[in-house]
Amino acid sequence: MTKKKFLLQGVLLTAISLFLRITNMGYRSYLSQQIGSEGMGLYQLIFSIFMLTVTLSTSGISLAVTRMVSAAIAAGKRETIRSIVSRCFAFCLTISFCIAGLLFLLAEPAAKLFLNNAKAAPCLRILGFGLPFMALCTCMKGYFLAVDESLSTAASDTLEQILTILATVYFFWHFSPKGIEAACLAAMAASTLGEAVSFLCGWTAYRRSLRRNTPKTKKPGKGVLKGLSHIALPCTLSSAARSLLNTGENLLIPRELQRFGLSYPAALSQYGLLQGMAMPMLFFPSSFLSSFASLLIPKIAKEREQHHKKAMAHITGKAVNYALAFGFFFAAVFIAFGENWGLAFYQNKNAGRYLQVLAPIVPLIYLDVVVDSLLKGLDEQFNSMKYNFADSLIRVILVLCLLRFLGMESYVGILFFSTIFNAALSLHRLLKVTNVHLSLSRTFLFPLATAVLAVGLAKLALKSLPLENTFLLLGTKTTFAGLLFFIGYFGMEKLRTIKPFKAPGKRLGQVSTFQENSPLGQKQI
């Protein structure tokens, strides 16, 4: 993939991802107004259980398909692609139907035991119908990523999001569900409908893509089961273990808050504020990173297959530097404008205050998005599994030990410790594998200072801006701060790479870094 094509795809995917995040935030804002913070807490708990089943059905499959299809393309064996993807389809369908059946049968006891609310059982059942569609979409996502057609997946996701929102509004408008359980059921039904339509859209694009990217002659793909066991199995075990622990953590939080002294509605409300409102805002800007991070997986996987160590180091160094710079900027934005974010999206200052408190760990959270993708491309998914499992296990233990005594404040401390622990282990492994050395001033101090200065100037310059619409005011401040940061950060980056004029007969110093000395040249990212 040329640098131009990589950037073009990344920009388009980022634009689509940003649209999806904005509409998702608007959707959550609409839900919070309809069902309140208590309803958002129940909604989040139901999805916590459902996400465990999603993990068991789909985790690791997308990466396995991407890696196997990329390897087939690199080896000049495109005639085996249909067979590889078809066998992955069969594997996914088998697993997803089994898990959907179990979810349907065990929905009521699960709702009683974990949610303390038997009326939520229909929500789990209706979500189960969407599992097979999600599994097949995951396979197709891996294929599209390998053949550089990620926009097809983005189109399906966009259609799914729009349809889910419209269906939810329709259900609330025409049926006016009474009670938070009925309201959650309407939202879950809309989600399942969106998954089904997304699959149909993706399947149409997949069939067309096969005709473009594979020859008419077909050959059976060899080693598919071995590839699934080597690539998907560690990811599935890791994700399943982590999802199980995360689900347990999410279910424990309201119960431990009750032991701290809160009522059940108050505990759900506190949980809904943090996990249902503040955390989605915190992850919202990561849409800019996640698109490029996903494109890095097949890119660095191909460099690894061809043993291009310097190219791997080049990609890793650039990705880590940019991810941290991006994280420092939004950490400063959240600290300066956190309450504005809460008011703009949820009309709730408390959600914005949580955002301000969590802002210092934002650079590590965003860095982990990129590091995780790079480790997967480098065949380091087993180590990633170990770090994620240890992180989730420690969080559950700390929730059990601290929350009942110290309340929600202790959970914020747990999030800080967990994020630092996971990011440190993952980054250390990545740097060791790629033999990359980071500069303290260039990687950490310079982007941090630039972010603080840019956001501070923006806040000061737009302090008395006469805008009453909170969303428009927030967008203006953030955009202006982003422009200042972009000019400052990339302006200095450009100056660093300029080589001074070397007059005849004189020796002058030369600015150089390992990134610029990469053998990739200008046409490769």
Number of domains observed in the structure of the chain? 1
> What is the tens place of the pLDDT at every residue in 225-237?
776 776 767 667 7
Question: What is the spatial distance between Cα 327 and Cα 427, in angstroms, rounded to a whole number?
Answer: 15
Q: Are 27 and 277 in contact (CB under 8 A)?
A: no
The answer to whether position 314 is within a domain reads yes
Sign of the CA dihedral 199, 204, 205, 206? Answer: positive
Which residues neighbour 380 within 8 Å (Cβ) at sequence distance 6 or greater? Answer: 429, 430, 433
**What's the confidence (pLDDT) of residue 514?**
35
Would you give the DSSP letter of residue 129?
T
DSSP 436: -
- Tokens standing for residue 358: 């969590």
- Whether 206 maps to a domain, the answer reads yes
Q: Is residue 486 part of a domain?
A: no
Whether residue 380 lies inside any domain: the answer is: yes
Structure confidence at residue 500 (pLDDT)? 52
Q: Looking at the domain assignment, is residue 477 inside a domain?
A: no
Nearest to 224 by CA among 59, 58, 87: 87
Q: What is the pTM of this model?
A: 0.67
Does some domain include residue 487? no
The verdict on residue 515 lying in a domain is no
The amino acid at residue 36 is G
Question: What's the confidence (pLDDT) of residue 361?
Answer: 94
Number of other residues whose CB lies within 10 A of the CB of residue 109: 11
Within a domain: 416? yes
Given this model, what pLDDT does residue 223 score?
Answer: 67
- Ranges in the chain, pLDDT < 70: 1-7, 9-10, 221, 223, 227, 230, 232, 234-235, 238, 494-525
Q: Which domain holds residue 241?
A: 3-438
How far apart CA 292 and CA 371 sit, in angstroms, is 12
